[in-house]
Amino acid sequence: MKAYEIEPIKLIKKIADHLKNEMKKPEWVDYVKSGANKERPPEDLDFYWIRAAAIMRKLYFESPIGVNKFRKIFGSRKKRGVKPEHKVKAGGKIIRTILQELEKLGYVEKIDKGRRLSAKGRKLIDDISKNAG
């Protein structure tokens, strides 16, 4: 099966399971909110790897993408009490560190207008999608 034929959640979970063995989660991730729109840090213990897998999947379909575009993608509405809600970007630190870590592993490469998936990253997603199907 191809990557676009698999449900996104299933593919992201499979990629996250693979990345758990390769990437080390920074200590501060458990204590930091993922954006100004959130009230508390993420409760999911696998949040870091799931976000990394979602970034890889997004780069597989669209690239190049920079940190600011990922902030828009992962942002959501901020509750403002009685006032109308507004869309707020996600925090950039987590996204930036994930992209840097994926660069070190060789899955992502930096280009002029952002980052894109390398041949090694594409091969990883293709292999995982074949086995997931």
Q: Which helix (H) or strand (E) holds 111?
A: strand 108-111
Please give the average per-residue pLDDT across 34-56, as a whole number. Answer: 88
pLDDT classification of 9: cutoffs 50, 70, 90: very high
Q: Are 12 and 54 in contact (CB under 8 A)?
A: yes
> Is the pLDDT assigned to residue 4 strictly greater than 90?
no
pLDDT tens figures, 80-92:
899 999 999 999 9
Quickly tell me which residue has 């840097």 as its tokens: 100
Query: Helices (DSSP H) in the chain: which residue ranges?
Result: 8-22, 47-61, 67-74, 92-105, 119-132
**Domain with 21 in it: what CATH number?**
1.10.10.10
**Which among 116, 107, 110 has a CA at the least distance from the CA of 62?**
116
pLDDT classification of 133: cutoffs 50, 70, 90: low
What total number of domains does the chain contain? 1
The pLDDT assigned to 60 comes to: 93
Domain ranges, residue 116: 3-132
pLDDT tens figures, 96-118:
999 999 999 999 999 988 899 99
Instruction: Give the count of beta carbons closer than 10 Å to the beta carbon of residue 8.
Output: 14
pTM surpassing 0.75? yes
The pLDDT assigned to 41 comes to: 84
